[in-house]
Chains A and B, each alone.
Chain A
């Protein structure tokens, strides 16, 4: 590929949160294959080191952080350096029927899924650590549109990202920075396996999805598009990557 390849990430420095597993891990691996230099962040230092070992190319850096803690968010924003891309892939999902939800559950999931990406973005912007022409990408979830049973807290947190992204995109456009959301459907990840142990079934999710269960690579490839210059003109946008799961549902009503 030539340097003029619009999909190349060569010369770009990209910070990925949640990079110790699942979608975040794959986004880091794929971005490195496209030429980017990665800063990978996650809670588990061992798994983070495993991700780091898989990254093609040189100059990548790990920063262990628990983004439910403000001091860790501050430290990550301070230590990450200037980035051209920022991917908020860290997140948690816990099921509870509405009549059983508690303030503690709301605090926990909103802290990881909403406060962390918003406050990390704020921290980097305040220090002018997102380069002009940079791209900010939030990994939401189809739960933002669909709302399966017992996902009241999780769905609300993922939907919140859409609103945050739209106003952020307007505020940073003067620096040529873009902000977008990807909403993935059911992807083969440790998070989905965790949900299955809580009573779901991966087979059922795969059957519901016209193109079958997704792989982390499918979301990572969409992330490459949104991080590269190929999407130079795309901002304030959310993109559904779900193997057709929502095609038979009226999710816009």
Chain B
């Protein structure tokens, strides 16, 4: 790292906690951060997939903690295991669709626990234990669903919009410590877990592709967005959202 601009985009010397790192976007963000020099703490529910992520991380000193973040006990165990961090990326999630008319309380509660309560209460414990260093960065993985209305996506949309409120208020609360809080809102990134195999028969995916002028995104694209929001390059960016959507038009 020879000059100020390159240093600003490096993650060397930083420890970054990535949730939902056993697959999809979380895994790719962990890999991208490790490539730029960060020490990574990864967490996820699936121990064997989390180990796969761990084995792919560049560099050494990384830690993995198998945990279900909807459980307060697991969150506490993670907070104790991870020590002080400079970056936090909250990717843990999972899609469930339901038109509001057919909505079941069980589904709505599950969405709330997974997409809202888990990331918010994990952040709360990390702050209460002074685990987030000054000039740190917190990144909530949102979705364009936080900003737009789509049939059947109500429960998910509502939780992601709810996190916008957390991002704004937390940005103000943490500004005196120069800790910044932002979201990333990707549109459709065809990870196999969420979208199935990307082929000609995958009608929903091909329909989505058609309304994105630049086509669909890749986990690497979202990983690069996360790197920018975690690096010192974005030290003056807070309370906002990076929308990554290939220029999507409705």
Q: Report the minimum CB–CB distance from A138 to chain B (whole Å).
A: 15
Q: Is the Cβ of A222 less than 8 Å from the Cβ of B247?
A: no
- Given the known inter-chain contacts A7-B227, A211-B180, A222-B237, please indicate yes or no for A173 contacting B214, CB distance below 8 A: yes
Instruction: Evaluate contact between A1 and B234: CB separation under 8 angstroms.
Output: no
In this complex, the member of A169, A218, A221 whose beta carbon has the largest number of chain B beta carbons within 10 angstroms is: A221
Q: Are B228 and A225 in contact (CB under 8 A)?
A: yes
Q: Which A-chain residue is minimally distant from B3 (CB atoms)?
A: A33
Contact B244 A233 (CB under 8 A): yes
Contact A211 B236 (CB under 8 A): yes
Also in contact, A237 and B245, with CB within 8 A (given A33-B5, A56-B3, A222-B234): yes
Bound form: Cα–Cα A63–B243 in Å: 34
CB distance from B6 to the nearest CB of A (A): 6
Interchain CB contact under 8 A, B224 and A230: yes
User: A81 at interface (Cβ–Cβ under 8 A)?
Assistant: no
Within 8 A of A (CB), among B176-207: 178, 180
Q: Which of A1-55 contact B (CB under 8 A)?
A: 1, 6-7, 30-31, 33-34
C-alpha spacing A229/B227, complex, angstroms? 13
| Residues of chain B with a CB closer than 8 A to A243's CB | 236-238
> A247 touching B172 by the CB < 8 A rule?
yes
Rounded to whole angstroms, the CA-CA distance of A56 and B6 in the bound complex is 12
Contact between B221 and A1, CB atoms less than 8 A apart? no
With A211-B180, A221-B9 known to touch, is A233 a contact of B246 (CB < 8 Å)? yes
Q: Name A217's contact: one of B4, B213, B217, B246 (CB within 8 Å).
A: B4
In chain B, positions 215-229 with a C-beta closer than 8 Å to chain A are 217-218, 220-221, 224-225, 227-228
Bound: A232/B9 CA distance, A: 17
Q: Which of B3-33 contact A (CB under 8 A)?
A: 3-6, 8-9
Query: A169: which B residues are within 8 A, CB to CB?
Result: 213, 247
Contacts A215-B236, A247-B172 given; does A30 touch B5 at CB 8 Å: yes
**Residues 230-253 of A contacting B (Cβ, < 8 Å):** 230-237, 239-244, 246-248
Which residue of chain A has the shortest Cβ distance to B178 in the bound complex?
A211
Contacting pair A241 B236 (CB below 8 A): yes
Distance in angstroms between the alpha carbons of A246 and B241 in the assembled complex: 12
A190 within 8 A of B: no
In the complex, what residues of B have CB within 8 A of residue A194's CB?
A: none
Is A231 touching B240 in the complex (CB atoms < 8 A)? no
B1 to chain A, nearest CB (A): 8
Residues of A within 8 A of B238 (CB): 210-211, 243-244, 247
Residue of B whose beta carbon sits closest to that of A32:
B5
- CB < 8 Å: which of B175, B214, B236 contacts A218? B236
In the complex, A248 Cα to B167 Cα: how many Å?
11
Q: How far, in angstroms, from A237 to B187 measured CA to CA in the complex?
A: 13
Residues on A with beta carbons closer than 8 Å to the beta carbon of B171: 210, 244, 247
| 25 A-B interface contacts by CB (under 8 A) | A7-B224, A33-B3, A173-B213, A178-B214, A178-B247, A211-B180, A211-B236, A218-B235, A220-B5, A224-B9, A224-B233, A229-B224, A230-B225, A232-B214, A232-B221, A232-B224, A233-B214, A233-B221, A234-B225, A237-B245, A243-B238, A244-B180, A247-B171, A247-B240, A248-B172
Q: Which residues of B line the A interface, CB within 8 A?
A: 1, 3-6, 8-9, 168, 171-172, 175, 178, 180, 213-214, 217-218, 220-221, 224-225, 227-228, 233-240, 242-249
The 10 closest A-B pairs by CB, nearest first: A210-B175, A247-B239, A33-B5, A221-B233, A218-B236, A230-B224, A235-B247, A173-B213, A233-B221, A236-B247
